[in-house]
Every structure is written in structure tokens, then in C-alpha cells.
Structure 1
Amino acid sequence: MPMGTLLLLTRHAPWAACLLLGVALLWWQPAREISAGLVLLAYLGLCLETWRRQRGKHRQATPVGNGLLIAYASQSGQALHIARDSSTQLQAAGIDTGVLSLEQLAPEQLRQYRQALFIVSTYGEGEAPDNAARFERQLQARLHELNDLQYAVLALGDSQYPHFCAFGRRLDELLRAQGALPLFDRLEADRCDAGTLRHWQQQLGHIAGSQDFSDWQHPDYQNWTLAGRVCLNPGSAGAPLYLLALQAQHGHWQAGDIAEVGPRHAAEEVQALLRRLGHDPRLLLENGESLAQALANRRFPDDESSLYGLPPEALPGHLEYLPHREYSIASVPADGHLQLLVRQVRRHDGHLGLGSGWLCRHAPLGGEIALRIRSNPGFHGPAATTPLILIGNGSGLAGLRAHLRERLHGQGSYNWLLFGERNRAHDFICRQELSAWLQSGHLQRLDLAFSRDQPERRYVQHVLRDNADELRRWLAEGAAIYLCGSLEGMGREVQQILAGLLGEAQLQDLESQGRYRRDLY
């Protein structure tokens, strides 16, 4: 073969060059030409290394077009580790992703993507890590018209330092200033706080439309007791919505915090699986649990054949834990119990959702619920004297209700609730409580939108738009806006309405002042 042809293959199809040389070596007679064989062997190694590098470069840097980019910046490698874990979770859900260091990225390349996730650390005195400094300078230099980009930022930092997450915050502000739309509010992980990373995983699940993932770190749950469960919307055209009450010996939270729940399978499902495997569900293990109890919080494989032949004692260790579920807390400690508003979800195959099925249907009253409270300072309330505009829909009333209940104990509270649901007759949840607050003056205004009560759909964002002058008056008096509910639909449209009524600059100012906060899912 001519040398020019071989070099061409090495450059453009190194795998072919490797294959041809490998065949040649198989037929080589080393006793005749040992030195020539060694040269060819070295050349083969060079070809393989070239191939490996090109493949790695292709995997890391090839744009995925309308797919999702995960970009990272780190001095220590922690951001890269999280970026790879994030990519694995999204790819398992069928989302096309590419992972790049900010060192490999120019701001204009962001226009090639529909969505981008940024996982970034802060270095030194609030500086960008070395592999992101050039990207930040280019992003600051001029507008890049990123109006078609949706993005999210996970900022890593250490609150012991004065410039906590400074680069992540600057990056978030720069992207917004250039027209990019946040998928959800920036998350800040203090020393890679496990709760924040679990929340990041939940948000990845919302992006992918799949909550079927494994927690990177299993939550340290407490045992709570399910003390009450009431359906709030019997007869509704929508899915049932339940008010749940839980109790524990110890537990403290404040309005805005999140309950992380460890779901379980229905007892009947666990017993049926074990019987198919030929095991007794009542078999006691060394820790005193029955085999059925030990498997109730484990993920069952799609292909059960992998479990056949395993001894019963090995099954729990063979299966991963079920992923946690997050719910906005709807009460305050003064109420004497923790309350949740949970929508009972059905999957496309007709089965109940993992978390809502457990809480709303399968968990017995008086039974144990694995639960962990996660502090959510980004949605904690303002001072009692700060006027508060609360906007939400459906089960999003949970987080807003907690703030209203917390502000009952303050002096000078001034509150306006805008809330949306389907039909007044069946979906006016917490009607008596809200009406009583309006009558007592705890609520200065209560504006409702029942979308199906008139031929033309009317949602909470329309109510907000129609009360633009009142909104501006409240904000002029120092009010804060708190938004809770579904990210898709209500959350995005309220954001757009606010930007249209107030302008992007004022909305960003409100956010930087802590006067615009969101808890969307």
C-alpha cells in the first residue's frame, strides 16, 4: 500500500489503518525483519492513540444541535464529576447531552443549543476558575443574543469565604442580561451540600420528564407518622389532591422549606415479586426486617431474570434505593404537624406515580413515612412588615400557605394572594381558611382564576396581567413576589408577564434584592 494512502487513512479513518496494520502483523515473520516489525508495532500504537483521542474529542466537543449542553468550570474537578453524573442521569432518560469545559466553549456557540446547564465553582477572591476566565471575559465583552437559550446554573462554593458562589452568580446575571431564560432559579451548593445536589437531581428529572433516577447520595431520613389524609377536591375533573398530616418526635422547619420523602412500593407489589422469585416475604433478615420490608424501598429491575438464583439475603444489596421525592411544606411548626399538598399522579401506563402513589394511596394511616426536611433559604420569607404578593396554582398553594400561616404570628403583615385552579365548585382548595383570612384582613386581596369556569381559559397569569397597576403600586411600596407551583405553563408564563409589565431590568433588580423568589417544579 502506498504510504500516502496509509497516512490518509490514519488522519480520517484511523480505525481502518489500525485494522490493516493488524492484519499485516498477523502475517509478519518476525525472524526475518524484527526491526521493521517493531516500527510497524509502534505505528499501530500511534494509530490507536490517535483514534482514542479523536473519539474522546468527538464525544466531548461535538455540538448536539437542539440537544442539551452541560458546561462545567472547576479548579478541583468536583464540577466535572457532577457534570458527568448529570449527563448520565439525563441520557438514561433519553436526553441527548454533551459535556464541555467552559475552556472549550465560546459564548456564540451557545446559540447552537436549546438548553444548557452550567455547573461552576468560584476560585480565590470570587474569580472564575482558570478554565472559565476566558469564557467570562468573552461573555462580558458584547451581547450574544441568547434569547432562544434556556439554562440553569448550579454554583459550587464554600460559605466560609466572603465571595461565596460569586462566579456562579455573575454567570447567571450575564446569561439573563443577554436574553437567556432560566429553566429554574440558580442553586448554590455550600461545600457540595447533599440536599442541594438532590434538589439539582430533581430539577434534572423535571427537564427530562422522568423522575426515575438513583440518588447520588441516599438521604438520611427520619421516621414520621402519617397522621391524616384528606382529599381536598372530590369530584374534580383533575387528579385528586390530598392534604397530608405527618408527625415526628423532633422536626423543625420554616416556611419555604422542602420535605424529601423516601417512597415505598405497595406491599402487594413487593409480595408478588418475592413469590415469583420463590421467596417467603415474611423471611426475617439479620437486621430484624422481613424480606418484604427490606425490598419495599428498593428499585425493581425491568428484567426480573437478573434476580433469579440470588439468595434472599442478597436481594436488598443487589437493588438500588428508590429515588426521593420533594414536596413544598404547607404548614409551620406552630401547627403541631407537618402538612403536604400532594397531587395523585398517574403515569402513562396507568400506574400511580411512585411518590404520590405511596403517600396518597399505599401508605397506611398511622404508618411510618421516611422523611427528611431540607432547608430552602432561597424561598424563606421576608420580614413580616414587607408586603407580600403570593402567586401560585394547584398544589403550589402549599408553599404559599406556609408563608401566610407563618405571617399570622407577625405584626403589620400585608398580603395579596393570586391563585389558580380548574373549577370553583370542586377545586377551591382551603376555601374556608382563605375566606376567613380575607375577612379578618390577614389577606388584603384574594384574586382567583378558575380556568374551566368559562369558555375561554383564564389562568392566574391573566389575573396578574389584568391587575398590572395594582402590582406596580405594591412593588412601589416595597412588596416582594413569591411564586410557587408548576414550572411549565404557569411558572414560565408568569415570568414572561412580569418581564413584560415591569421590564427585565426591574425584575432582575427585584431578584437581586431578594424580592422575587420562586419555588417551581
Structure 2
Amino acid sequence: MMTIDPVRWTAAATPVLAWGGLCGAMLGRRRQPAQPQDADWLVVHASQTGNADYLARQTAATLATGGLSARTIDIADLDAAILQGATRVLFVASTYGEGDAPDAAARFAAVTMAGDVDLAQLHYGVLALGDSSYTHYCGFGRALDAWLRARGATPLFERIDVDRGNADAIAAWQHQLSHLAGTSDLPDWEGPAYGEWRILERTLLNPGSAGAPLYRIVLIPAAGGLPDWEAGDLVQVSAPGDPDLPREYSIASVPGEGRIELLVRLQRHEDGSLGAASGWLCLQATGHDIIALRIRTHPRFRLGENAARPLILVGNGTGLAGLRAHLKARIDAGMDENWLVFGERNANVDFLLREELESWHAAGKLARLDAVFSRDTAETRYVQHALLEQADTVRAWVARGAAIYVCGSLQGMATGVHEALCAVLGSQAVDDLAADGRYRRDVY
């Protein structure tokens, strides 16, 4: 472990009950669709990690600069009736994984986009967010654009695809907005400035693991006070070797602990070179180096209205970071209806934060702790298998109002967990949980 005395403290700049009762309870709590309101424009965001939400709010602010009334709406609250009552809509649509709709858009994609809706009165624009390293780049945004055209809607301009936040593509969207708003006096869309941080501690958590090294990184501000954040939020790190493409990491700590903690896995490329950010954080930076870091809010993975609910937390590997922050926040608030299902390779070297988690469990602050290690049994087991084996308990917790948060790898873990939840609860129930904000994912 590397320990560095801080120069100065700083802050810089988410009994088994009857199945019929479960369904009834879920239906009773289902969020009511938003009602149309007088506005020149609707700005719809389909967001997973908050980027589309942010850009939608900036879009609405730009239209307002030109004297137009605009309101933002989550795609989870959008239906055919609202679309048919609108004449001008701008969509900011993220793509999740290999071309999938974000969780918030699951019901819209499955129900509204499957229906025969006449949208001949509608004029629209689409800003599609994606990552060209995936096969189905901007898949949901492109599918949404094609569906709107097929339903008779008229595009105001050609769809704009954004590859990993490309500034030129965002500028092209702003250019179109300036024409729609009739003004060139646009608000500032720049993100917050990076703050200066230093590494206080760095600990290798999995010595001897068959997997890549995984470090716990503790950071404190180089000067000033500690910034505010909530469990579920992220940090963006600008690495010296590649400052134009910040890397995002889940925050594993809460503000009351006086520091930001990250769980970072060291990445090595095929040519042996280190990942730009992980290499810097895990091996290269010293306690005297400045870490350029800023906090990014992640509204869809915060607790929000789920703060008082029982919580099922599921994840693997570095996904434990985001889950640990939620556990700490709830324990500090006196909430003990917490169930963690965590997976890694081997218990003797990969049981991350074991002492802390087991102490919380022994004290009754973590009601259930299921640790699953894929390499320790003859038959490979992952977190999704634990959920299937505990199906009755999963149903009972959900029937009592539990929310489900998933954090970790998209490929394998998140897909397997989703399929397991659909097998245990039913696909419609899972879609409803997602639309109601009770099933939230931060996977990568």
C-alpha cells in the first residue's frame, strides 16, 4: 500500500409473498405518464449514464434563449398520446451496449415503437449518442429515427451521430438549434472544470489473482474544500497521456468519509502498453502528482426515490465501487434492508473489501451477503446463478418494494443478471421496474 500525507484537504471541481400481490403492488405504484403541456418544443432524453439528460437540458436552454418555450421529458414518460399531441420534438438518445435502448426507454421501445402510430403532424430532430467501437453504433438513435420517419414524421434536419462525445458533432447540433431558435447567442455547454487532486493511498486489492491487478485509489483535493456528490455518481479523470478523452469511474465512497475512493483495474493493451488512465492512477502517479478529476452526476444510478426501499445490489469486479457507495450511504442513514450479490474469480484472492463487507453483515447492517466465485467450484457459478437459486427471496424483496441496482461488466454479468431477473420476475415486470426507476444499471 502506498500512503501519502495530504498536502492540503480539498474539494475540486445512484416469508415469500404471493405473486399476485407483487403484480398488484407494482401496478399500484406505477408512475403515471406525463401529461402534455403548452410548449413550443418537447425535448426528449433517453439516457443511461446522464449524458443525454444533460444535453437535453442544454438543448431546452438554447431554445429558450431564442424566446421559445421548451420542456424536457424522460422517454420513460413518453407515450403515443403525447407524441400525437406534439408538433415539434427533439430527441437526445443514447445507445446502451450493442445497439440496445437505454433502460429508461425499454417500455417505449417495446410498446410505443411496436404500435401503429400516425405521426404525420410531427417535425423532429435526433441527436444519437454512441461509441463507434461497438458494432451497432448509435443503434437506438438510428432505430428511433427510422421509426419516426416510417410513422410519417418529418425530420427538421438529418440525424446527428455523436461518437463518444465528439465536440464537432455536438457543435453541429448546436448549429441546428441556433437556426431553430433564431439566435446565435447560445448558452455555454462546457462541462465543469477539472479540479486538482492527489493520491492519498493506493492499495493492490487482489495480489496473486488470475485477473488483472485491481487497486483501491484514495484521492483528496490538492487545495480547497471537498465537493459534494451522492452515492451513484461518477468521476471523470483526464490522464496526461490522453487528456481529450476522460475516463469514468464509479465513486466508491460518500462525502462524509472525506475523500473519493475508486476501484480501478489496471488495463494493458495487446502491445503491452498501459491504459492511459488506469496506468496513471495505478502505477505511474505519485503522491506529489496532480490528478485532473471532476465529478459527474449520475442521476439514473442515484438512490433518489428508492432511498427508503429495500435494496438489492448486484455486481462484479470493479462494479463493487458503485455498490459500496450505496451501502455506505444507507448504513449511515440507518437503513439495513440491504442485499449484496457480488461475484469474482477466487475467494482467497478476489474477495474485494471482504473485511468491511463481512463486518457489515455480522452487525446486521447488510441483511444478506451472497459472494459468488466462478473459479472455486467444479461448475462455474456467477451472480445470476445466485439470483436464480434465491428466486423466492428475490420475489419477496421486490414484492416488499425493493429496488435493484446492478453495477459492473455489461458483457456476461449484466446480460446474465437481466435474463435471470426476467426468469424470476417475468419480462414485463422487469420492464415495469426499469420504467418506474426501481431497476437501475451502471454497466460498462
Instruction: Tell me the distance in 1 between the aligned counterparts of 2:108 and 2:244.
Output: 38
Are residue 391 (structure 1) and residue 314 (structure 2) matched?
Answer: yes
Give the structure 1 partner of residue 395 of structure 2. Answer: 472
**Structure of higher RCO (CA pairs closer than 8 Å, 6+ residues apart):** 2
Q: Select the structure that is richer in strand.
A: 2
Give the structure 2 partner of residue 261 of structure 1. Answer: 237
- Percent identity, aligned pairs only, is 44
Where in structure 2 are the equivalents of 1:349-368 lying within 5 Å? 349-368=271-290
SS of the residue aligned with 1:360?
A: helix
Instruction: Compute the TM-score of the two structures, normalised by the length of structure 1.
Output: 0.53
Give the structure 1 partner of residue 425 of structure 2. Answer: 502
Are residue 374 (structure 1) and residue 296 (structure 2) matched?
Answer: yes
Give the structure 2 partner of residue 225 of structure 1. Answer: 198
Q: State the one-letter code of the partner of 2:197.
A: W
Are residue 245 (structure 1) and residue 167 (structure 2) matched?
Answer: no
**Aligned pair in 2 of structure 1 residues 213, 463: CA closer, same or farther (>3 Å)?**
same
SS of the residue aligned with 1:322?
A: strand
Q: State the one-letter code of the partner of 2:278.
A: S
Q: State the one-letter code of the partner of 2:229.
A: W
**Aligned pair in 2 of structure 1 residues 232, 349: CA closer, same or farther (>3 Å)?**
same
Contact preservation (8 Å) 2:252, 2:322: yes
Instruction: Tell me the distance in 2 between the aligned counterparts of 1:350 and 1:358.
Output: 15
CA offsets, 1:166-194, max 9 Å, x none? xx96x6423234999xxxxxxxxxxx9xx
Match of 1:174 among 99, 103, 108: 108
1:322 to partner: Cα distance: 2.7
**Aligned pair in 2 of structure 1 residues 208, 423: CA closer, same or farther (>3 Å)?**
farther
CA offsets, 1:371-399, max 9 Å, x none? 11111110111554311100000000000
Q: Which ranges of 4 or more aligned residues in structure 1 deviate by more than 4 Å? A: 128-133, 177-180, 203-209, 212-215
Give the structure 2 partner of residue 418 of structure 1. Answer: 341
Match of 2:258 among 336, 339, 363: 336
1:457 to partner: Cα distance: 1.3
SS of the residue aligned with 1:227?
A: strand
1:207 to partner: Cα distance: 6.0
SS of the residue aligned with 2:83?
A: coil
1:513 to partner: Cα distance: 2.2
Q: State the one-letter code of the partner of 2:393.
A: E
SS of the residue aligned with 2:340?
A: strand
1:442 to partner: Cα distance: 0.6
CA offsets, 1:138-165, max 9 Å, x none? xxxxxxxxxxx964458xxxxxxxxxxx
SS of the residue aligned with 1:390?
A: strand
CA offsets, 1:306-342, max 9 Å, x none? xxxxxxxxxxxxxxx4301000000000111000000
1:455 to partner: Cα distance: 2.4
Q: State the one-letter code of the partner of 1:256.
A: G
Instruction: Compute the TM-score of the two structures, normalised by the length of structure 2.
Output: 0.62
1:350 to partner: Cα distance: 1.6
SS of the residue aligned with 2:339?
A: strand
1:435 to partner: Cα distance: 0.5
Give the structure 1 partner of residue 143 of structure 2. Answer: none
SS of the residue aligned with 1:373?
A: strand
Where in structure 2 are the equivalents of 1:88-237 lying within 5 Å? 126-127=82-83, 151-153=99-101, 172-177=106-111, 200=129, 215-216=166-167, 220-237=193-210
**Aligned pair in 2 of structure 1 residues 361, 326: CA closer, same or farther (>3 Å)?**
same
Instruction: Tell me the distance in 1 between the aligned counterparts of 2:191 and 2:334.
Output: 41
Contact preservation (8 Å) 1:330, 1:402: yes
Contact preservation (8 Å) 2:215, 2:265: yes
Task: Give the root-mean-square deviation of aligned CA atoms.
Answer: 3.6
1:223 to partner: Cα distance: 1.1
Q: Select the structure that is richer in helix.
A: 1
CA offsets, 1:15-55, max 9 Å, x none? xxxxxxxxxxxxxxxxxxxxxxxxxxxxxxxxxxxxxxxxx
Instruction: Tell me the distance in 2 between the aligned counterparts of 1:389 and 1:502.
Output: 14
CA offsets, 1:411-453, max 9 Å, x none? 3431110000000010001010001001000111101110011
**Aligned pair in 2 of structure 1 residues 257, 218: CA closer, same or farther (>3 Å)?**
closer
Give the structure 1 partner of residue 374 of structure 2. Answer: 451
Q: State the one-letter code of the partner of 1:345.
A: Q
Instruction: Tell me the distance in 2 between the aligned counterparts of 1:424 and 1:218.
Output: 41
Give the paired residue count.
306
1:483 to partner: Cα distance: 0.5
Where in structure 2 are the equivalents of 1:24-39 lying within 5 Å? none
Instruction: Tell me the distance in 2 between the aligned counterparts of 1:219 and 1:324.
Output: 13
Contact preservation (8 Å) 1:391, 1:481: yes
Contact preservation (8 Å) 1:378, 1:517: yes
Select between 476-485 and 361-370 the one with higher mean Cα deviation: 361-370
